[in-house]
Structure 1
Amino acid sequence: MTRRRASSDPPARARPQSCQRAPLFVDFDEIGWSGWIISPRGYNAYHCRGSCPFPLGVGLRATNHATVRSIMHTLRIPGSEVGAPCCVPDRLQSISLLYFDDEENVVLKQYDDMVALSCGCH
């Protein structure tokens, strides 16, 4: 029988997750929009969650502004109360909605920026 050496790494759930995209299903009935939206009944909008830890790695798709902000936040420069960069959508996609307009006409319209395709630190 071999003994495993105890890891000094904290358990995965104790470590903050870095910035990433996560599912977020929007049910139009739940938000009170089912009275005017015919189709779809809902959609996966996705959302961004997680931290933007210093130093910002390539996988976090950080802007130059976020990199400078991260440095200033880490150094805690007096007089500059700069927070850490935020994990936000950096690419968005449209969806098409079939709905009733104010005159009860059926309309098919594309709505921009409704689905988070990817996330980054900004």
Structure 2
Amino acid sequence: MIFNMMFPVPFVEISTVEPKRRVRRNLGLNCDDKMNEPLCCRYSLDVDFEEIGFDFIIAPKRYDAHMCAGDCPFVTLQKYPHTHLIKMSSPQSAQPCCAPRKMSAISMLYFDEQLTVVYGSLPGMVVDRCGCS
């Protein structure tokens, strides 16, 4: 094949750029028993269904439900305007507490009252994030 140098050969140049991805921040702290974190944190909490007498549950036999614990000092209230205003207007009011802010479901297999095997999803069984409220 002979190319004619008088006429340039057309070409296409393609470049790709990775799109900027928004990073979702996890505002809650995840802690373990070895940490000395005094602020509101999410800790591991293993639930064993057989141990608490829920022998009608087939699976899972146990799971990590997580729990919230820790202090909610005055400086953390800036994130929650309603709680901050209540504390400012009524200093004798109860301190804000560390509580679940986001929860998710677990799927389980269990026997119902008629001993039929049921597969279901139970909402609010796992703490995903903790916060002061």
In which range does the TM-score fall when normalised by the shorter chain? Answer: 0.7 to 0.9
Report the aligned-residue RMSD: 2.1
Q: Give the number of the structure whose alpha-carbon radius of gyration is greater.
A: 2
State how far apart, in whole Å, the 2-side matches of 1:106 and 1:84 are: 45
Asked if 1 retains the 8 angstrom alpha-carbon contact of 2:41 and 2:70, the reply is yes
Is 1:107 aligned with 2:118? yes
Give the C-alpha shift of residue 71 in structure 1. Answer: 3.6
Structure 2 CA distance for aligned equivalents of residues 121 and 45 of structure 1: 19
Whether the 8 Å contact between 2:77 and 2:84 is mirrored in structure 1 is no
Match of 1:117 among 125, 128, 133: 128
In 1, are the aligned partners of 2:47 and 2:63 still within 8 Å (CA)? yes
4+ aligned runs moved over 3 Å, structure 1? 69-73
State how far apart, in whole Å, the 1-side matches of 2:93 and 2:107 are. Answer: 39
Give the conservation status (yes or no) of the 8 Å contact 1:24–1:44.
Answer: yes
Per the normalisation by structure 1, the TM-score is 0.73
* Cα distance, 1:29 vs structure 2: 1.1
Partner of 1:26: 47
Of all paired residues, the percent bearing the same amino acid is 37
Structure 1: segments with no counterpart, 5+ residues: 1-11
Higher RCO (C-alpha 8 Å, min separation 6): 1
Aligned length: 99
Write out per-residue CA displacement over residues 97-117 of structure 1, whole angstroms, 9 at most, x where no aligned residue: 100011111000000010000
Contact 1:37 1:100 in 2 (8 A): yes
